[in-house]
Amino acid sequence: MRSIPLSMQFLLFLGLQLALSVGLVFYLNALADSNYQTIQRASAGFVESSKTIESLRKAFAQTSADIEQVVNTLRPGERIDVRTQVVNLQQLAAAVRTDVALDNLRTAAYSQINQLSQSIDHQAQLLINAAAKTATAGPAEVRDLQNKLRIERNRIMVDDFSGLISAANSNLEDTMQMLRGSTASVSQQYRTLLILFIILQIGLMITALLYFNHQIKQLADITDRLIDGEATAALPQQKRHDQIGRLARSVQHFRTTLITLSDSREQLKAILKKHDHETLHRRKAEKQLTLAASVFDNVQEAVLLTDIAGHVIRANQAALDLLKSTEKQLASKPLLQHLLTGSEKVVEPLWTQVLEHGRWQGEVQFKPDSYSPPITALISIKLVGEAREGRGHVIIVLNDHTEIRNREAEMIFLAQQDLVTGLYNRHYFSLQGQTRITDRPTEIFGLILIGLDNFKAVNDALGHRDGDRVLVEIGRRLAKLLNTQDVLSRVGGDEFAFYFSPRNGEDLEISTKEKAEEVLSIIRQPIQIDGYNITLKASAGMSLYPNDEDNIEDLLKTNDIALHMAKTRGGNQLYIRGTQAQNQARRRFVLQQALDKALGNRELRLVYQPQVSLASGEIVGFEVLMRWRHGGEWISPNEFIPLAEENDLIIHFTEWAFTESCKRMREWQRQTDRQFILSINIPPRLLLVDKIDQRLDAIARKEGLPLSSITLEITESSFGSDPGMMSGQLHQLAMRGFTIAIDDFGTGYSSLAYLSTLPISKIKIDKTFVDNIYNNRESYKLLGSILAMAQTLEFDVVIEGVEHSNQLLLLKKLDVRLDVQGFVFEPPQNEDFWEGMFINNKVPTYPVPEIMSTKSLKPSASS
Ligand code: C2E
Ligand code: CA
Ligand code: CA
């Protein structure tokens, strides 16, 4: 097979098929032919013998008629000549015995033929006898002879001939029966052969198919493996001499070529890669060098490079400006000795620390020369390379914090103050209380909260200016009642509070109560303003440390409720903490339980408050805020967020809010084609979660919101527990691309110098700093100074809680780049509200005031 060409193999196969078919046709034909001839023969024989029998019968009938005629003329005593008839009869009998036409019947109808010939012979004998007798016979005898002949003749006609005919018929039937059987067997054979033939054909076809298929598949498999790169695949068909063999050899050749080709391609690739890598490396290094040089020259920070002993080798322009020296002057002695004149003793240990630990950071104060004011700077020292055998370098970076420190001092002073009365404000007051409890936990005291009854009416009647004067007078009267250690504060618009310490041995409750009553009575004394006598009434609440609560926050809360109770009972009275405080505690407990299920019960909702550009009135972004609807009541986030923050619940809440709001913001961005910023509140606890940056990043990525559109709002209080960890997390978050904003800026007491080391780019100035800018010049000045500082640190600024349009104009005058978030534009609204707005791509623009002339812009003066 292997040497016969493929086409010949096909022809051979076809030939075999043809031969088989022809053989079968011939065989079947012969079978049918022989059958046909047998039938032919049988029917011809039958016709011949039937004809002969019929002619014999006719001849016998004719002879019998002749005999009858002769016999009828018989007369007694007369002689008759019957020789002709007898001869005829004898010839007939002989014909029956010998006629060849009856040969085919001779075996099957032997007795019938015999019987017929004997009967005819017998008739002939009878005739002879009759002829012989007539001469002597009487008439009766003649009649008897005549009858005998007639009867015999009839018997022969009826019995013997019929017997022969029916024997012939039955012989034919037998033959036919036999033939039918043989025809059936022929057709049976025919069918069997045909089936066998078809099976054989199919078998042959399948064999051929499998054979060729196997050969081609083997080749295809190997070609596939070859394409897959399997170089060792062997081709057994190569040895064949047919076309498959040729194909195999071609594939083999192709394979060898391919292997060679791919080898050389790999080599080429490796060479190219190496070349690319080297070029890239060199370019990168060059670029980095240029970049480093340009960074060194252009950064705002003062950067100096010193040798291992601290002598300046190079200083950038910012450093020379800050230190008011030339490089040469600086090189005269170690840099730290320039900076720390007067405290040389610390220089050496400090430097040793740098050499040992590789870095040092701290704040220093120095005077560049005797005429300049002192400069406060954050100094960061870092050793480059290893300090060995006098080699190695040190980089020193100086950040000028002078401005920040000055502002800070100013702010701290201002932040503690109530600008109207000069008393402490609420923040400072609670801070003081907290410190007092922490420092002297065993020292008992009472907390008294006083609220002026119906002060609004006074304000409305006299105007804010005189209203403020009333407040100042009340403050003055209260201050006179107090001992030196009792801190007095104006904690709200018309509310004052102070800590009261009883004298030694006095009962705390009784003496606090007496003090509160005294306060109410001195407030009731008339106040003289511009010749008017004003009489005010007040209500008070009181609570005791440690009897009622063990912390200021709760003492204040208890008092808030007590004051509220006093007012709802008509005012002008004192309400002593009582069941209200306990109710509060109970409510806290109940809410805390319910809060666990709030997310699962779908009780939490999100609302979005826009942040609006003061320059254009356009929405730049949204802060997402949480709402809790529980038992038919909307519970303020100020109440439930602190509860959630007590455990990990706040983490689930925040992740939920983050996911939902990212999704929503992405939708709105698509819908409106605007790059809205999403601001979200990040609780301190979340910043303690491991890899929180990855988690938030993954969520934002999943929802398709770019990190550049996300601002994370954190409060300064976040840094309380673990500043190092928080700072690390914030850097991670900022590095990923999140914007970090300080929320409620100004209400905490973080050092600005510290904040400036964090990756913060935005601050949100608390509502309390803008509430009074329209009425109070000091407030306005304070805000101005905060904004100036934000500018120095290059923070973006959002002003929160702006409620009146008259505040807007003043804000715009301070800085048009501000963004504003407040009821003046829009309170927080749910997504249905915003989606309704965005139908047909319509994004609302809010009216913002235009700055016309500078004169009318001054805030109205007070006090
Ligand atoms: P926040 O982060 O300082 O949010 C701003 C609050 O000021 C919101 O109160 C807002 O409704 C309110 N506000 C905005 N404009 C004005 C205005 O013109 N006047 C007045 N009076 N208020 C204004 P809200 O929604 O009641 O939230 C209170 C605080 O609860 C938030 O203060 C935040 O600390 C906390 N909070 C709210 N939602 C969330 C949240 O989803 N996660 C976390 N961690 N805290 C949240
Ligand atoms: Ca916030
Ligand atoms: Ca805020």
* Burial call 163-198: b when 16+ CB within 10 Å, e when fewer: bbbebbeebbeebeeebeeeeeebeeeeeeeeeeee
Ion ligand 3 residues within 5 Å by Cβ: 743-744, 800
Q: Please give the distance, rounded to the nearest whole angstrom, from the Cα atom of residue 496 to the centre of ligand 3.
A: 24
Ligand 1 mutation target, pool 607, 639, 681, 682, most atoms within 8 A of CB: 681
Q: Which residues line ligand 1 (CB under 6 A)?
A: 609, 625-626, 636-638, 641, 654, 657, 681, 683, 743-744, 800-803, 821-823, 828
What is the position in ligand 1's atom list of the atom closest to the CA of 625?
Answer: 38
Three-state DSSP class for residue 842:
coil
* Burial call 26-40: b when 16+ CB within 10 Å, e when fewer: eebeebeeebeeeee
Which residue, judged by its Cα, is nearest atom 3 of ligand 1?
A: 744
Q: How would residue 750 be classed by pLDDT, with cut points 50, 70 and 90? A: low
Q: Which residue has the higher pLDDT, 855 or 209?
A: 209
Q: Please give the distance, rounded to the nearest whole angstrom, from the Cα atom of residue 759 to the centre of ligand 3.
A: 19
Q: Please give the distance, rounded to the nearest whole angstrom, from the Cα atom of residue 713 to the centre of ligand 2.
A: 6
pLDDT at 440: 93
Instruction: Please state, rounded to an integer, the average pLDDT across all residues of the chain.
Output: 86
% of residues, the chain, pLDDT over 90: 36
Q: Please give the distance, rounded to the nearest whole angstrom, from the Cα atom of residue 96 to the centre of ligand 3.
A: 146
Cβ-in-10-Å burial (0-12, 13-18, 19+) of 13 comes to middle
Q: Which tokens hold the place of 352?
A: 């040793």
Q: Looking at residue 767, what DSSP letter applies?
A: G
Which ligand is closest in space to the CA of residue 638? 1
Lookup result for tokens 């009074």: 772
Cα 843 to chain centroid distance, Å, stands at: 30
Position 227 pLDDT exceeds 70: no
Nearest to 773 by CA among 798, 818, 804: 804
Which residue, judged by its Cα, is nearest atom 13 of ligand 1?
A: 801
Which ligand is closest in space to the CA of residue 717? 1
Q: How would residue 862 be classed by pLDDT, with cut points 50, 70 and 90? A: very low
Q: Which tokens hold the place of 386?
A: 């290893």
Ligand 1 mutation target, pool 622, 625, 651, most atoms within 8 A of CB: 625
The type of residue at 724 is G
Which ligand is closest in space to the CA of residue 765? 3
Nearest to 495 by CA among 418, 579, 431, 432: 418
pLDDT tens column, 119-170 = 888 888 888 887 777 777 778 887 887 888 888 888 888 888 888 888 888 8
d(CA 178, CA 454) in angstroms, rounded, equals 140
Q: Please give the distance, rounded to the nearest whole angstrom, from the Cα atom of residue 678 to the centre of ligand 3.
A: 14
pLDDT at 429: 92
Position 855 pLDDT exceeds 50: no
Which ligand is closest in space to the CA of residue 821? 1
Residue 741's Cβ-side half-sphere holds a number of Cα atoms within 13 Å equal to: 25
Which residue, judged by its Cα, is nearest atom 22 of ligand 1?
A: 801
pLDDT at 856: 45
DSSP string, 700-758: HHHHT--GGGEEEEEEGGGGSS-HHHHHHHHHHHHHHT-EEEEEEETSS---HHHHTTS
% of residues, the chain, pLDDT over 70: 95
Stretch among 117-126, 391-400, 406-415, 527-536 having the lowest mean pLDDT: 406-415
What is the position in ligand 1's atom list of the atom closest to the CA of 645?
Answer: 44
Residue 394: how many CB atoms within 10 A of its CB? 27
pLDDT at 229: 62
Q: Which tokens hold the place of 342?
A: 């007067």
Nearest to 737 by CA among 765, 700, 776: 700
pLDDT tens column, 378-393 = 999 998 877 666 778 8
d(CA 89, CA 117) in angstroms, rounded, equals 9
Q: Please give the distance, rounded to the nearest whole angstrom, from the Cα atom of residue 744 to the centre of ligand 3.
A: 4
Q: Please give the distance, rounded to the nearest whole angstrom, from the Cα atom of residue 427 to the centre of ligand 1.
A: 18
Position 231 pLDDT exceeds 80: no
Stretch among 382-386, 431-435, 733-737, 799-803 having the lowest mean pLDDT: 382-386
Nearest to 449 by CA among 463, 476, 435, 429: 429
Q: Please give the distance, rounded to the nearest whole angstrom, from the Cα atom of residue 806 to the centre of ligand 2.
A: 23
Position 580 pLDDT exceeds 60: no
d(CA 198, CA 195) in angstroms, rounded, equals 5
d(CA 351, CA 357) in angstroms, rounded, equals 10
Which residue, judged by its Cα, is nearest atom 32 of ligand 1?
A: 638
Which residue, judged by its Cα, is nearest atom 10 of ligand 1?
A: 828
Q: Which residue has the higher pLDDT, 662 or 574?
A: 662
Kindly give the pairing relationship between strand 796-800 and strand 819-821. parallel
Which ligand is closest in space to the CA of residue 657? 1
Which ligand is closest in space to the CA of residue 714? 2
Q: Which tokens hold the place of 50?
A: 């039937």
d(CA 581, CA 60) in angstroms, rounded, equals 156
Which residue, judged by its Cα, is nearest atom 19 of ligand 1?
A: 801
Q: Which tokens hold the place of 337?
A: 């000795």
Nearest to 31 by CA among 146, 256, 191: 191
| Residue 501, CA distances (Å) to 73, 394, 413, 435, 557 in order | 192, 57, 26, 15, 20
Q: Which residue has the higher pLDDT, 859 or 588?
A: 588
Which residue, judged by its Cα, is nearest atom 23 of ligand 1?
A: 801
Q: Which tokens hold the place of 662?
A: 């990212």
Ligand 1 mutation target, pool 603, 636, 641, most atoms within 8 A of CB: 641
> Which of 94-98, 703-707, 791-795: highest mean pLDDT?
703-707
What is the position in ligand 1's atom list of the atom closest to the CA of 644?
Answer: 44
| Residue 502, CA distances (Å) to 88, 513, 521 in order | 185, 11, 19
d(CA 581, CA 576) in angstroms, rounded, equals 10
Q: Please give the distance, rounded to the nearest whole angstrom, from the Cα atom of residue 584 to the centre of ligand 3.
A: 25
What is the position in ligand 1's atom list of the atom closest to the CA of 823?
Answer: 18
What is the position in ligand 1's atom list of the atom closest to the CA of 607?
Answer: 25
pLDDT tens column, 476-534 = 999 998 887 788 999 988 999 999 999 888 999 999 999 999 999 999 999 998 888 88
pLDDT at 215: 75
The partner residues of 303 in beta bridges, in order of sequence, read 397
d(CA 622, CA 620) in angstroms, rounded, equals 7
Sign (positive/negative) of CA torsion 16, 22, 25, 30? negative
pLDDT tens column, 340-374 = 877 777 888 888 888 888 888 888 888 888 888 88
Position 568 pLDDT exceeds 70: yes
Which ligand is closest in space to the CA of residue 764? 3
Stretch among 238-242, 427-431, 543-547 having the lowest mean pLDDT: 238-242
Q: Please give the distance, rounded to the nearest whole angstrom, from the Cα atom of residue 63 to the centre of ligand 3.
A: 154
d(CA 564, CA 573) in angstroms, rounded, equals 11
pLDDT tens column, 624-637 = 999 999 988 899 99
pLDDT at 863: 36
Three-state DSSP class for residue 851:
coil
Sign (positive/negative) of CA torsion 4, 8, 14, 18? negative
Which residue, judged by its Cα, is nearest atom 37 of ligand 1?
A: 625
What is the position in ligand 1's atom list of the atom closest to the CA of 744?
Answer: 3
Q: How would residue 736 be classed by pLDDT, with cut points 50, 70 and 90? A: very high
Q: Which tokens hold the place of 863?
A: 């006090």
pLDDT tens column, 13-55 = 788 888 887 888 888 788 778 878 877 887 787 788 888 888 8
The partner residues of 489 in beta bridges, in order of sequence, read 424, 497
Rounded average pLDDT over 545-560: 87
Give the CA angle between residues 473, 478, 479 to the nearest 5°: 95
Q: Please give the distance, rounded to the nearest whole angstrom, from the Cα atom of residue 765 to the centre of ligand 3.
A: 7
Which residue, judged by its Cα, is nearest atom 25 of ligand 1?
A: 625
Rounded average pLDDT over 311-330: 90
Position 546 pLDDT exceeds 50: yes
d(CA 786, CA 160) in angstroms, rounded, equals 156
Helix, strand, coil proportions of the chain in percent (round to 5)? 60, 15, 25
d(CA 103, CA 455) in angstroms, rounded, equals 159
Q: Please give the distance, rounded to the nearest whole angstrom, from the Cα atom of residue 104 to the centre of ligand 2.
A: 131
Q: Please give the distance, rounded to the nearest whole angstrom, from the Cα atom of residue 468 to the centre of ligand 3.
A: 27
Q: Tell me phi and psi for residue 797, to 5 degrees.
A: -130, 135
Q: Looking at residue 636, what DSSP letter applies?
A: P
pLDDT at 860: 47
Q: Please give the distance, rounded to the nearest whole angstrom, from the Cα atom of residue 800 to the centre of ligand 3.
A: 6
pLDDT tens column, 658-687 = 999 999 999 999 999 999 999 999 999 999
Which residue, judged by its Cα, is nearest atom 7 of ligand 1?
A: 801
Position 709 pLDDT exceeds 60: yes
- The helix (H) or strand (E) run that includes residue 148 is helix 139-155
Ramachandran bin of 631, using left for φ above 0, alpha for ψ from -120 to 50, beta for the remaining angles: left
Sign (positive/negative) of CA torsion 496, 497, 502, 506? positive
Q: What's the first-to-final CA gap in the chain, in angstroms?
A: 121
Beta-sheet strand order (sheet of 302-307): 312-315, 302-307, 391-400, 375-388, 359-366
Nearest to 330 by CA among 348, 355, 349, 304: 304
Q: Please give the distance, rounded to the nearest whole angstrom, from the Cα atom of residue 622 to the centre of ligand 1.
A: 12
pLDDT tens column, 247-270 = 777 777 777 777 777 787 888 888
Q: Which tokens hold the place of 103?
A: 């040969």
Which ligand is closest in space to the CA of residue 637? 1
